[in-house]
Amino acid sequence: MLRTRYSCRTLCPNTMGAHSLIVATVMLRIFSVFVLLLLVSALALSSPALAWSRFGHEVVGHLAEHDLSPGARAGVVALLGEQSLADVASWADEVRPDRPETAPLHYVNGPLDRLVPRQADFDLPQGNVYSAILGYAERIVDASLSERDRIEALKFFVHFVGDLHQPLHAGFAEDRGANDVAVVYQGEVINLHRYWDNQILDRPRARFDSREFAAVLHARYSDSERVRWTDLTDPRDWVIEARRLIFNGLYPRPRGDVATPDQTPIAVIDESYADVWQPVAELQLARAGARLARALNELFETSASPFRSPPIPFPPPARDR
């Protein structure tokens, strides 16, 4: 039986103001557990971000399929064959271990002291989810590319549109999109980013498969709401939308009844947090699906990207594959 501590900078945005933050330094204690569980907890704090899990990404794919135009549907079939958007929605996560150059493309982080990231935060030479969305959109309809490259571009594009709608994939550079923010969830110490990637969808995942839940979400929102979401055609606006959620209370506040040995309060993810933020996560899935559909409709109907060119050369250098 071992006892260990993890050091973690926990950043808690103040819900009373969009740019007011509470910044606290905390030391987290994991109670006596088996060595294996300690190792699992350590990995949970340091593992790379995989937004929305397979379930969430499939939901986004199914939602987009609801709203594809005939031309876009034909274009998707021409590239994917019998596979659906939902089938390929998690492909970018699956190939990530063998394609390390794509790891920075899953997120775009900005400074914690501003709602809108600086231009330099979008123009990183290694790329980010913003430049990836712009770059892969162009490649989907680039007739000079091989069919294989265009198929790969579509798979990446579907995934990265979903990624950008997980708010912490547009988070703070200082805490690596909350990967460095430890919380307690169901008695386990995990990081806040992991909770948003996985556990925040535990309730719907227990009741529905991804196709069923996509149908639930599609019925929940009106066509006029989807039109309003898709009026935001610049992915930069999606970044700001996601960061606004973070500034408006997404970080849970530490509780006084759970503390480290030095009496520093620890944030606990409980049912009340899920009651507030699960509907927000579901709204983000619905927005992602609607925006993905609109982008694909324009791509396949006009053979041109609906976005401006990426701010940096794209894609980033990759090894032969």
What does the CA dihedral 53, 56, 59, 61 come to, rounded to 10 degrees? -60
Q: What are the Cα distances from residue 171, in Å, to 106, 108, 180, 301? A: 12, 7, 12, 33
Is residue 4 scored above 70 in pLDDT?
A: no
- CA dist 175 and 112 (Å) reads 9
- What the chain holds in terms of domains, given with CATH numbers, is 2-302 (1.10.575.10)
Distance, in Å, from the CA atom of 122 to the CA atom of 37, rounded to the nearest integer, reads 38
Strand order from edge to edge, sheet including 265-269: 188-191, 182-185, 265-269, 254-259
CA angle, 213 as apex, 207 and 218 as ends, to 5°? 150
Q: Which of 78-92, 181-195, 279-293 has the lowest mean pLDDT?
A: 181-195
Contacts of residue 40, defined as CB under 8 A and 6 or more positions apart, other chains included, come to: none
pLDDT classification of 118: cutoffs 50, 70, 90 = confident
Instruction: Report which of 107, 151, 113 is spatially closest to residue 131, judged by C-alpha positions.
Output: 107
Look at residue 49 in the predicted model and tell me its pLDDT.
Answer: 55
**Beta partners for residue 223, in sequence order:** none
Adjacent-strand bridge partners of 172: 110
Give the pairing of strands 188-191 and 21-33.
unpaired
Measured distance CA(98)–CA(120) in Å, rounded: 28
Binned at pLDDT 50, 70 and 90, residue 318 comes out as low
In total, the chain counts a number of residues equal to: 321
pTM of the entire predicted model: 0.83
By C-alpha distance, which of 282, 267, 89, 87 is closest to 203?
A: 282
What confidence score (pLDDT) does residue 215 get? Answer: 99
Q: With a cut of 70, say whether residue 95 has pLDDT above it.
A: yes
pLDDT in tens, 83-92: 999 999 999 9
Residue 320 confidence (pLDDT): 44
Cα 92 to Cα 106: distance, rounded to the nearest angstrom: 9
pLDDT at 155 over 50: yes
Residue pLDDT, tens place only, 240-279: 999 999 999 999 988 767 665 666 677 999 999 999 999 9
CB 101 within 8 A of CB 316: yes
What is the distance in angstroms between the CA of the first residue and the CA of the last residue of the chain?
45
**Looking at residue 124, what is its pLDDT?**
82
* 123 pLDDT tier (thresholds 50, 70, 90): confident
pLDDT score of 35: 28
- Least confident span in 14-18, 162-166, 282-286, 301-305: 14-18
What is the pLDDT, as a whole number, of residue 260?
A: 59
d(CA 15, CA 94): 36
* pLDDT(319) > 80: no
Residue 69 has pLDDT above 80, yes or no: yes
C-alpha span between 173 and 143 (Å, rounded): 37
| More confidently predicted of 206 and 50 | 206
pLDDT tens for 10-63 read 444 444 343 443 333 223 333 322 322 333 344 344 445 567 899 999 999 999
Stretch 225-253: mean pLDDT, rounded?
95
Please, are residues 319 and 101 in contact by the beta-carbon 8 Å criterion? Answer: yes
Q: What is the pLDDT of residue 115?
A: 87
